[in-house]
Amino acid sequence: MKALPLLCLAPLATFAETPELGELVVEAMKPEMTQKLTTEEARDLQRHNLAEALSILPGISLQRMGARAETMVTVRGFDLRQVPVLIDGIPVYVPYDGYADLGRFSVPEAAEIEVAKGISPVLAGPNTFGGLVNVYTRRPTEKLEGDVHAGVFTGDGWEAGLSAGGREEKWYWQFDLAWMEQDGFELSDDFVPRPTENGGRRENSWSEDWRASGRIAWTPAPDDEYALGVWIQRGEKGTPPYTGYDPTVRARFWKWPQWDKDTYYLLTRTAINPDTTLETKVHYDRHENTLVAYDDATYSSQNRPSSFTSFYDDWTAGASATLENRSLKNTRIAAAVHYKRDHHEQMDIGAPKFSFEDETASVGLEAEYSFPFGSSVTAGVSHDWREVREAIDTNTGAPIYGGKTSSWNPQIVWKHEFSENLEGHLGYARKSRFPTIKDRYSYRLGQAIPNPNLDAETVDHIDLGLGGKANDGNFEWEAGLFYSRIDDAIQRVDNVAFTPGGAGLFQLQNVGEVEHKGFELALGNKWSDCIETGLRYAWIMAENRTNPAIHVIGTPEHEAALFSKFTILDNFRLIPAFVWADSRDVSSTGKRVGIYASVDVKAEVELPGDVTLGLGVTNLLDRNQQLDEGFPEPGRSFFFDVRHEF
């Protein structure tokens, strides 16, 4: 029986001697500084997209950007501009604003999700400000293995998928195909009708996504691997209109008829000699989408000034190389170099096309020494720099000349094995993040003044953790403290100028000092072969020290979850879960939403022929709740699925 992710942190997990190709975590970061989550664990808790899966881990909070119908997470209070998301080590963010809508990313069937929070490898490249998330496809072990599944859920929703892979003596292949479609989710019966929403099925909440990903690799030797991969996504969605009570917020009537993303990459690992390994990555990622804004809820006309049709075309191209050597006794030395170009194009119908392009590079060096008494120390530093290759003022059409900006990122990590069942770590890191194209050049629909001269944000992280086992390994625990101080934080400064009509304009400036501090706890116990339980809890306090009136958004102060798995018969399992998060700020002005809580229950029945039936309910109590003000979450929802493994 495979354990549910009851502990979530896996402090004493076993790792392969040779990491997966595309896995960013080096030996110095294992196991204390990273957390892993498998597809099976996400599926047990009915988490279909990447954001929902990540929120299983403590310190990671589910977040909605309702006005754009985007699903994201915060990691210890840091948003996805500050915590890059990678697939097989390849960045998949949108170059324009630095975000990735994780609600569009289904979790691959043959995958593991790896998270480094706060302190992450200096060899990972630039902008790992608050950590990183890496999704990587696992290598198959059999000549043919995989599964096929299909399911239905509330809202006339359905999903289907196929995952297959195979391994031969000198090569392997892996392929995944997934499709999900929903006409719209159902609101809670407690929802009070509003002018833009009468209850029942949420207006304009439809979506359709499909994904195909594949990887083929040549493995001429045990430590050599050369893999070609592709990740293709096609999607479209509606944006439900605002239904809140803030008179200053106007409802948007938006649709996204195109949300397309293609990623192509080459990964290599070559053992130059028994002590030296070279890894390289070459990648190209393209994101195209179309946004259509309509006059009203009929979604049939575009006559008002607020209506438009916008086209976006973004791409990222880059390469990296990492060289690692272990020829010195108890010592590992590694160096990495990264280079990429981010390109953004935007155009509205009837308006000119505007182009922006950045060039970013990074070099890093890391050394680890293992002492004979159970301790090791890892020290490293990276230097990142960015140069503006192309930018334009979208109001005047005049070119903008940016120049260069750079930053240094040192860090040191100590870890110690106190006993066979107790380990700990203490680490310090200084990280940086370059502002996005949108941060520097956007007029924000006429409400702001661009600031091309924004500098990088910097943050100092301190991380202390302790974890272990007891009761013959049946009880696992981990506790951690962290503190992060951001200098030169990019914050909004109001009334830096005024329109002819007297309206104040704001500008993003490097004027802030922000503190993130918190505590994480994870407990897991296997009571018997039939009962497992786990608890996770996080306390996170994010404060703006420079200007308390500007609130840090998206992260609840307290968040907890309780998971259980009951194996009632050899072929029947019951998996209840309860998640709870207190109220949170959802705007920099202090607008808040209330407590979020959900009781979910799933039952699984194993049938002959490696077939599993699953059925259950999410938000069992049908709570009317929000993660973003004016954008209610789904009410009680039922699901049923069938899966066959081969």
pLDDT 10s digits, 567-612? 998 899 999 999 999 999 998 888 999 999 999 999 999 999 999 9
One-letter amino acid for residue 447 of the chain: Q
Domains, the chain, with CATH or none: 27-645 (2.40.170.20)
Q: Give residues with Cβ within 8 angstroms of 594, minimum separation 6.
A: 583, 625, 626
Lookup result for tokens 């939403």 = 593
Is the per-residue pLDDT at 211 higher than 70? yes
Q: Once rounded to an integer, what is the mean pLDDT over residues 493-515?
A: 88
Place 7 in a pLDDT band, splitting at 50, 70 and 90. Answer: very low
Across residues 298-312, what is the average pLDDT?
95
State yes or no: pLDDT of 468 exceeds 90: yes
- Read off the pLDDT of residues 425-443 as tens digits, 9 standing for 90 and up: 999 999 999 999 999 999 9
pLDDT band, very low/low/confident/very high, at 617 (cuts 50, 70, 90): very high
d(CA 187, CA 194): 13
- Alpha-carbon span 110 to 146, nearest angstrom: 8
191: three-class secondary structure by DSSP: coil
Res 26: pLDDT: 38
The better pLDDT of the pair 87, 78 is held by: 78
> Is 34 a residue whose pLDDT tops 80?
no
- Banded model confidence at residue 16, pLDDT cuts 50, 70, 90: very low
As a whole number, mean pLDDT of residues 619-628 equals 98
- pTM of the entire structure? 0.92
Asked if pLDDT for residue 41 goes beyond 50, the answer is yes
Instruction: Provide the phi-psi class of 530: left if phi over 0, else alpha when psi is between -120 and 50, else beta.
Output: alpha
Number of C-beta neighbours around residue 374 at 10 A:
12
Please give the Cα distance from 70 to 238 (Å, whole number): 11
pLDDT single digits (tens) 334-379? 999 999 999 999 999 988 999 999 999 999 999 999 999 999 999 9
Tell me what pLDDT residue 10 has.
33
Please say whether the beta carbons of 147 and 109 come within 8 A.
yes
Q: What is the 3-state secondary structure (H, E, C) of 409-429?
A: EEEEEEEEEEECCEEEEEEEE
Q: In the prediction, which pLDDT does 248 show?
A: 86
pLDDT score at 151: 97
DSSP-assigned states of every residue in 312-336: EEEEEEEEEEEEEE--STTEEEEEE
Element containing residue 273 per DSSP (H, E) = strand 254-273
Q: Which of 28-37, 142-151, 226-235 bottoms out in mean pLDDT, i.e. has the lowest? A: 28-37
Given a contact cutoff of 8 angstroms between Cβ atoms, the answer to whether 294 and 308 are in contact is no
Report the pLDDT value the prediction gives residue 512, as an integer from 0 to 100.
83
Task: State yes or no: pLDDT of 18 exceeds 60.
Answer: no
pLDDT of residue 501: 83
**Residue 382: CB atoms within 10 Å:** 28
What does the mean pLDDT of the chain come to?
A: 91
Residues 312/291, Cβ–Cβ less than 8 Å: yes
Q: What are phi and psi of 42, to 5 degrees?
A: -65, -40
Mean pLDDT of the region 177-187:
97
Confidence of residue 3 (pLDDT cuts 50, 70, 90): very low
Query: What is residue 137's predicted lDDT score, i.e. its pLDDT?
Result: 80
Helices (H) then strands (E): counts for the chain: 3, 33
Cα R_g (the chain), whole angstroms: 24
The token duo for 321 is 């190389």
Q: What angle do CA 161, 165, 107 make, to 5 degrees?
A: 40
pLDDT at 14: 27
Residue 143 and residue 167 in contact, taking contact as beta carbons nearer than 8 Å:
yes
104 φ, ψ to 5°?
-90, -10
Flag the least confident range among 286-295, 423-432, 499-508, 618-627. Answer: 499-508
Residue 206, SS3 per DSSP: coil
Q: How far is CA 439 from CA 394, 491, 609, in A?
A: 14, 10, 54
Question: CA 261: distance to chain centroid?
Answer: 16
| DSSP label at residue 106 | B
Mean predicted confidence (pLDDT) in 107-127: 89
pLDDT of 25 over the 90 cut: no
- What is the per-residue pLDDT for 562? 96
The answer, yes or no, to whether residue 30 has pLDDT greater than 80, is no
The pLDDT assigned to 21 comes to: 63
pLDDT at 4 over 90: no
| Confidence (pLDDT) at 20 | 63
Residue length, the chain?
A: 646
Report the C-alpha gap between 504 and 496 in whole angstroms: 7
Identify the pLDDT of residue 33: 60
Q: Does the pLDDT of residue 395 top 80, yes or no?
A: yes
Q: What token pair was written down for 195?
A: 């002018």
- pLDDT at position 387 is 96
Which residue would you say has higher pLDDT here, 264 or 19?
A: 264
Q: What is the pLDDT of residue 23?
A: 58
| Tally of CB atoms within 10 A around 274 | 9
